[in-house]
Amino acid sequence: MPYMSQKLLAATASIIISMSINAHAQQAADAVAPEIASAYDAKSQGLVVKSKNWMISAANPLAVQAGAKILAAGGSAADAMVATQTVLGLVEPQSSGLGGGAFLVWYDAASGKLTTIDGRETAPMNVTPKLFQDENGEPLKFFDAVVGGLSVGTPGTPALMAKAHELWGKTNWDGLFADGIALADEGFIVSPRLATLVANDAERLSRFKPTADYFLPGGTPIAAGDTLKNAAYGETLRQIALDGVASFYTGATAEGIVDTVQNAAGNPGVLEMQDLAVYQVKLRDAVCAQYREHDVCGMGPPSSGALTVGQILGMLNNYDLANLGVENPESWRLIGDASRLAFADRGRYMADSDYVPMPTKGLVDPAYLAERAKLLVGPNALEKASSGTPTFDHAMIYANDESIELPSTSHISIVDADGNALSMTTTIENGFGSRLMAPGGFLLNNELTDFSFRSHRDGVAIANRVEPGKRPRSSMSPTIVLKDGKPVLVVGSPGGSRIIGYVAKTIIGYMDWGLNIQSAINLPHLVNRFGTYDVEDGTTAMTFEAPLQAFGFKTNARSLTSGIHAIAITSDGLEGGADPRREGIAIGE
């Protein structure tokens, strides 16, 4: 079967695991609302959800419904985000929540301006660059660092929610928590994805009593279809609703977080009350790259997302992917090697620019990317992808990074009735984060393991090394694409450093290959970061394995569980899409 036939969309949507998850999730959703059931139908068939006024797409139907209620009542995208995030933290606790961090990109319809909020976790003031090294200076094993208190950074998501509401909210703050509180108090139906992930991670979750008591009651993993209550989370939300997020950063909730981190059995951390008390989100300029007469805009440092997506697209701007086509292996050779070159620059230069000088503008300068693009002239895969020399007025050179990032995280896309657009990627890092559950009923992140475990290589400093107060480099790529200054696409995904490839592919599918946004999401993944081409197992992407190997790529067939949530803004209205690989949906009105 050709890679991109009409049948492909159905074939893609029928990835067996996703379909079984969605079939179960659909049963739960059917009980909730008919529009949710029709949203599942749409995504499995590669059809967009259409609306005229507003649209929301996120990773769980209960969370989407919480946001949709706010939008239907005239709330802004920022209001809807708060309602959606607080429900996601309950029903999809493995991915994001109050104990984590997030990046938000906002298009303001009234002013036509883009703003980003950096709600990234920060390293405690008591860390050193050797945080994740043993007594011989060797990096710890990844999960030895992740599980426990050492990896926990100061959470940023509550402060981000408050700042977004302060800047752009239309609805009373306390009204945004109603669904989260009700679902926490009365219980929610455990989804198949949550149940599967708990069962797979049972040993690590069992190491800490509060975590085990919640996810493994009586020693048995919660099962799909169970009703799960979280009274502590309901109480935390009630306090935040009444008193704002100060209660989170300075009150009993903060004390509970610090106590949990400092007393984590076998792996205590160094977070203190002072770290929480001084936490601030940062408003930052969006980073934009030019692509096919559009501006692809997103989150700059400390995220590598917008820069790396922008580099990939900026190099490919010099090649005619539309003419080559989606079924042509040459398209994927170009995409794969553009990604490798972008990841080489990412590993060398990208980190928290408040701590290390970064060539932010130089990395997405079209002239620099046109030069880099010349390396892609065929016919074979690059033997080696090395970092380039973007315009950089600082003499310091960094050593190549050594960070490990595994897939996790969640993404929310919203367009409201006023035309504001919100793209937010939100995370506690690894699935279930540090595995530590705070007394407030939420999991704590392990975001600090997004730093490089090594601080130096051959005596040369690594940009993304651990430092007190610093924000670990991220791959999260919440994106808004503009045409003539107006948004045309809102998109993002979870997936660790593969997020970058998922987002770039979706933009290429939509803009170059003329796919509707749901079909662009469904398009099977081919992702290259460091040389090996990951090919989405069980899909028609597998037909590319042999041609890619003939170019000289190593290939690796594996599941690639993106969670892309996107909204296209067209002359006919809004078109929403949600990833069939996870349980989310888009709904609009």
* Residues in Cβ contact with 172 at an 8 Å cutoff, skipping those fewer than 6 apart: none
65 versus 446: smaller Cβ distance to ligand GLY: 446
Distance between CA atoms of 285 and 297, rounded to whole angstroms? 10
**Residues at the contact surface with ligand GLY, assessed by CB under 6 A:** 405, 409, 427, 429, 450, 474-476, 496
Q: Which one from 84, 171, 409, 506 is the annotated catalytic residue?
A: 409
Strand 101-108 relative to strand 460-461, pairing: unpaired
d(CA 569, CA 567): 6
Q: Which is nearer to ligand GLY, 92 or 405 (CB)?
A: 405
Nearer to ligand GLY, 79 or 405 (CB): 405
CB of 504 to ligand GLY, least distance (A): 15
User: Please, which residue, 331 or 497, has the CB nearer to ligand GLY?
Assistant: 497
235 versus 352: smaller Cβ distance to ligand GLY: 352
Neighbouring C-beta atoms of residue 111, cutoff 10 Å: 8
Is 427 designated active site?
Answer: no
Q: Smallest gap, in angstroms, from Cβ of residue 463 to ligand GLY?
A: 16
Give yes or no for a contact between 472 and 299, defined as CB atoms under 8 angstroms apart: no
The least CB distance from residue 103 to ligand GLY, in Å, is 8
Beta carbon nearer to ligand GLY, 356 or 511: 356
Nearest-approach distance from CB 472 to ligand GLY, in angstroms: 7
> In terms of C-beta density within 10 A (0-12 exposed, 13-18 middle, 19 or more buried), how is residue 500 classed?
buried
Q: Let me know if 449 is exposed, middle or buried by CB neighbors in 10 A (0-12, 13-18, 19+).
A: buried
Place of tokens 């920060």: 122
Half-sphere exposure of 197 (CA within 13 A, CB side): 20
At its nearest, how many Å lie between ligand GLY and the CB of residue 403? 9
Cβ partners under 8 Å of residue 427, min gap 6: 95, 96, 100, 101, 102, 408, 409, 410, 445, 447, 474, 476, 494
User: What's the CA gap between 457 and 466, in Å, rounded?
Assistant: 14
Structure tokens at 543: 């037909």
- Supply 568's token pair: 């296209």
| 333 within 8 A of 548, measured Cβ to Cβ | yes
Read off φ and ψ for residue 414, nearest 5 degrees.
Answer: -140, 140
Helices then strands, each counted (H, E), the chain: 23, 21
Rounded CA gap, 584 and 577, in Å?
A: 9
Amino acid at 571: S
**CB distance 150 to 267 below 8 Å:** yes
In the numeric block, which tokens belong to residue 530?
């460091």
Determine how β-strand 456-457 pairs with β-strand 585-588: unpaired
Our CB check for ligand GLY shows the closer of 345 and 450 to be 450
Using the minimum distance from each CB to ligand GLY, give the nearer residue, 464 or 522: 464
Nearer residue to ligand GLY within complex by CB, 347 or 576: 347
DSSP-derived secondary structure for 438-493: PTTS-BPP-GGGGSBS-SEETTEEBTTB--TT----B----EEEEETTEEEEEEE-
In the complex, the smallest distance separating the C-beta of residue 120 from ligand GLY, rounded to whole angstroms, is: 8
Burial class (CB in 10 A: 0-12, 13-18, 19+), 265: exposed
CA distance 36 to 42: 10
Residue 121 or 179 having the CB closest to ligand GLY: 121
Which residue in the shown chain puts its C-beta closest to ligand GLY?
474
Catalytic annotation, residues: 409
